[in-house]
């Protein structure tokens, strides 16, 4: 199985360059630029209304951008003077509701894209060949998504997770350059989502196709994607690997959107910042901003607690603790009244009013006020 994106110098499978789209006065997408390599999974993550679905629809050809260029396998799909309709783009789509044909079996659903004649990117001889090869390709796709024994079932006989895999197999069957997935887990049981995420990632990696999926769920984006593009107000504010987005967010918005965050006021000093929790080392900071007032971002798992020795006014106090078994989230009020959350292991269980010292375990990041 191929586990990483293919960065061998080939043309990226998908390129969006300064794509913009407005609906009347509402600018849905502003100069969005990104590339997706073959075998790479990119998440478009952001709050409701930030332009994720519109970006996906522009890539698929369901929406015409006002500006910008989309290239698929090195060919311009839309750009100045160029417009290819959806059926002429090498794109596979997995809609939010999976949109399986209820009167077709699983195998027929998967084979539909091979025999329906809508794949206008195929030349006539290729189409003839594809028709002949369709049964073998359907078989291959059933194997890929682990549904070989389900070939004769109908959509109403499938669980949500199985229906999702059929939709994915149908999108992948015609060997698209890229597959686009619109909120692929939103119709599925919350408890199943984590295991289905891994299954989907494995299928996409085995297929070695570029994939872009839209989500407003940060866990989904961080766990499934190779790179995450965080959108806000139509712009891609940052794109990068999940750990970059989580631990090195470029803006305060991203820092607080992609994970739980404590924000502490601080003052920049050499190599770090002075905060109520003492000196905190800052990662990636320009040296000239000493003295600047900053907001220091610390993830709850970057904090630890220890019993406060004096049990006096110098101590912070536990306000509440939520016990989850594998960990606990303890809310603490600092002397100044600022509240922070620590995500801790559970060897020590903390209780309201416990006097504590809060310790910073890692380098933090800071944003100018
Ligand atoms: P959600 O997560 O809620 O689906 P989103 O990030 O996918 O949101 P879009 O659906 O791309 O956001 O919408 C971006 C903006 O464009 C929103 O303000 C939305 O109201 C607007 N918009 C989207 N489609 C249309 C349309 N066809 N006509 C008018 N406005 C639209």
Per-residue pLDDT of the chain (369 residues; tens, 9 = 90+): 344 454 445 799 999 999 999 999 999 999 999 999 999 999 999 999 999 999 999 999 999 999 999 999 999 999 999 999 998 899 999 998 899 999 999 999 999 878 765 555 566 666 666 666 778 889 999 999 999 899 999 999 999 889 999 999 999 998 999 999 999 888 788 777 888 888 899 999 999 999 999 999 999 999 999 999 999 999 999 999 999 999 999 999 999 999 999 999 999 988 899 999 999 998 765 555 677 899 999 999 999 999 998 766 779 999 999 999 889 999 999 999 999 999 999 989 999 999 999 999 999 999 988
56 lines ligand 1 (CB under 6 A): no
Q: Which two tokens stand for residue 92?
A: 């596979």
Structure confidence at residue 131 (pLDDT): 65
Q: Which of 20, 49, 230 to mutate to test the pocket of ligand 1 (most atoms within 8 A of CB)?
A: 49
State which fold the 14-252 domain adopts.
Answer: Rossmann fold (3.40.50)
Structure confidence at residue 40 (pLDDT): 97
Same fold, 14-252 and 260-368: no
51 lines ligand 1 (CB under 6 A): yes
Planar angle of CA 186, 191, 193, nearest 5 degrees: 45
> Do 212 and 72 touch, CB atoms closer than 8 A?
no
50 lines ligand 1 (CB under 6 A): yes
Q: Which of 22, 27, 51, 257 to mutate to test the pocket of ligand 1 (most atoms within 8 A of CB)?
A: 51
> How far is ligand 1, taken at its centre, from the CA of residue 124, in Å?
38
Q: Which of 50, 97, 216, 229 to mutate to test the pocket of ligand 1 (most atoms within 8 A of CB)?
A: 50
DSSP string, 312-365: STTSEEEEEEEE-SS-EEEEEE-TTS-EEEEEE-SSS---TT-EEEEEE-S-BE
Structure confidence at residue 41 (pLDDT): 98
> How far is ligand 1, taken at its centre, from the CA of residue 122, in Å?
32
64 lines ligand 1 (CB under 6 A): no
111 lines ligand 1 (CB under 6 A): no
Give backbone dihedrals phi and psi of 134, rounded to 5 degrees, phi first: -55, -50
| Annotated domain spans of the chain | 14-252, 260-368
For residues 211 and 189, give the distance between their C-alpha atoms in angstroms, rounded to a whole number.
23
> How far is ligand 1, taken at its centre, from the CA of residue 97, in Å?
18
- The residue among 231, 244, 246 whose CA lies nearest residue 43 is 231
- Using the 8-state DSSP alphabet, how is residue 13 labeled? S
30 lines ligand 1 (CB under 6 A): no
52 lines ligand 1 (CB under 6 A): yes
For residues 306 and 242, give the distance between their C-alpha atoms in angstroms, rounded to a whole number.
30
Any residues with CB less than 8 A from the CB of 56 and at least 6 apart, and which? 44, 180, 182, 212, 214
- Which atom of ligand 1 lies closest to the CA of 214? 7
Q: Ligand 1 atom 15: the closest Cα is on which residue?
A: 28
Structure confidence at residue 125 (pLDDT): 67
For residues 164 and 145, give the distance between their C-alpha atoms in angstroms, rounded to a whole number.
10
Sign, CA torsion 162/166/168/169? positive
- The residue among 43, 19, 53, 22 whose CA lies nearest residue 33 is 19
- Using the 8-state DSSP alphabet, how is residue 149 labeled? G
Q: Ligand 1 atom 7: the closest Cα is on which residue?
A: 53
The CATH number of the structural domain formed by 260-368 is: 2.40.50.140
Neighbours of 27 (CB within 10 A): 17
For residues 161 and 167, give the distance between their C-alpha atoms in angstroms, rounded to a whole number.
10
Structure confidence at residue 311 (pLDDT): 64
Q: Ligand 1 atom 24: the closest Cα is on which residue?
A: 54
Tell me the three state secondary structure of residue 98: coil
53 lines ligand 1 (CB under 6 A): yes
């Amino acid at each position: 199985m191929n586990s990483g994106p293919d960065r061998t110098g080939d043309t990226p499978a998908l390129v969006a360059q300064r794509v913009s789209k407005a609906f009347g006065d509402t600018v849905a997408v502003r100069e969005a630029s990104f590339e997706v390599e073959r075998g790479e999974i990119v998440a478009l993550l952001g709050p409701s209304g930030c332009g994720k679905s519109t970006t996906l629809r522009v890539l698929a050809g369901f929406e015409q951008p006002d500006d910008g260029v989309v290239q698929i396998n090195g060919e311009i799909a839309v750009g100045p003077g160029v417009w290819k309709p959806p059926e002429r783009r090498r794109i596979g789509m997995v809609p939010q509701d999976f949109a399986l044909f209820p009167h077709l079996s699983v195998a027929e659903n998967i084979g539909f894209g091979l025999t329906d004649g809508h794949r206008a990117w195929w030349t006539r001889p290729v189409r003839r060949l594809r028709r002949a090869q369709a049964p073998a390709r359907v078989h291959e796709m059933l194997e890929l998504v682990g549904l070989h024994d389900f070939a004769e079932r109908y959509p109403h006989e499938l669980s949500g997770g199985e229906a999702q895999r059929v939709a994915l197999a149908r999108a992948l069957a015609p060997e698209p350059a890229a597959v686009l997935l619109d909120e692929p887990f939103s119709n599925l049981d919350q408890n199943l989502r984590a295991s289905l995420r891994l299954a989907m990632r494995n299928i996409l990696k085995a297929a070695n196709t570029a994939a872009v999926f839209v989500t407003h769920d940060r866990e989904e984006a961080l766990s499934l994607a190779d790179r995450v593009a965080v959108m806000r107000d139509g712009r891609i504010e940052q794109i990068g690997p999940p750990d970059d987005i989580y631990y090195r967010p470029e803006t305060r918005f991203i820092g607080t959107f992609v994970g739980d965050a404590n924000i502490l006021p601080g003052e920049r000093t050499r190599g770090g910042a002075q905060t109520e929790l003492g000196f905190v080392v800052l990662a990636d900071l320009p040296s000239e901003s000493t003295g600047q007032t900053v907001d220091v971002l610390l993830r709850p798992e970057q904090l630890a607690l220890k019993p406060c020795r004096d049990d006096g006014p110098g101590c912070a106090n536990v306000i509440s603790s939520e016990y989850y078994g594998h960990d606990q989230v303890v809310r603490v009020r600092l002397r100044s009244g600022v509240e922070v959350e620590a995500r801790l292991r559970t060897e020590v269980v903390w209780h309201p009013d416990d006097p504590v010292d809060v310790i910073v375990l890692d380098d933090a990041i800071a944003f100018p006020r």
